[in-house]
Amino acid sequence: MAKTGTIFLVGAGPGDPDLLTLRAARLIEKAQVVVHDGLVDPAILELTHPHAELISVAKRRSKHTLPQEDINRLLVAYARSGVDVVRLKGGDPFIFGRGGEEAEEARAEGIRVEVVPGISAANGAAAASQIALTHRDASSIVSFVAGQCKGLKEQDWAGLAGKGRTLVIYMGVKTAPQIAEKLMEDGLAPDLPVAVIENGARPNMRVLRGSLAALPEIVEREQVVSPALIVIGEVTAREDALAQIAVEASA
């Protein structure tokens, strides 16, 4: 009986190769085939074997190299041919990475699948910008939502942001005006602190701070581009507040 390969759903983390898990790095280095997203940093792809086959299935807003169904079939086809294939994703495979869909397809086809978690975009970007997503004095709840989805205005985000809470929005750059409007209509204060983290945990990272009402202006004025996260909550202002305290103490 012909050997069937394994599909490895591997999280590449926020971009810095030093933030890969050891398991992820080892799989990337020896993989025969790597099917990767567009947001995987080139420095990570450089870790692959010289003879490895690299296949980009980059997704951009309203434009996919391959539809998700075709990606699923591609992974299964390689595994059926006896090849172990690394499906390499930015961040973590199971946090807005469609890893769940790919794992379900593999299992349905009788293909062995292994998930290798990665540092999520939210964790990596927050850590690099020193924003504590949870904090005893500011937030005991953190939620992740997708800002790029159909029917955004009708999404129920009640209770996800506000006092004692942190809301992290993935893929929200293009819909920042609708997001700000939606949250303020839901009762959030216009002066609630926010941060926009562009290229989190990468050398060209930018952290832009302001208020919820000013969020659309920040994104437009600063020409923010993906990958970027929007973090909403009091935790985004704590670094500024603590820095001011330090300045006053030294005065």
Instruction: Name the active-site residue from 16, 37, 84, 92.
Output: 37
Residue 90 identity (one-letter amino acid) = G
Cβ neighbours, 10 Å, residue 74: 17
Instruction: Name the active-site residue from 18, 41, 59, 163.
Output: 59
Is 59 considered catalytic here? yes
Report yes or no: 212 and 194 within 8 Å, Cβ to Cβ: yes
Residue 221 identity (one-letter amino acid) = R
Dihedral of alpha carbons 222, 227, 233, 238, sign? negative
Dihedral of alpha carbons 116, 121, 125, 131, sign? negative
Tokens 């029917």, located at residue: 151
Give the span between the Cα atoms of 130 and 83, in whole angstroms: 41
Peptide bond into 177 cis (omega under 30): no
CA 203 remoteness from chain centre: 17
Is 63 considered catalytic here? no
Report yes or no: 72 and 40 within 8 Å, Cβ to Cβ: no
Report yes or no: 11 and 118 within 8 Å, Cβ to Cβ: yes
- Residue 236 burial (10 A CB sphere; 0-12, 13-18, 19+): buried
Catalytic sites, residue numbers: 37, 59
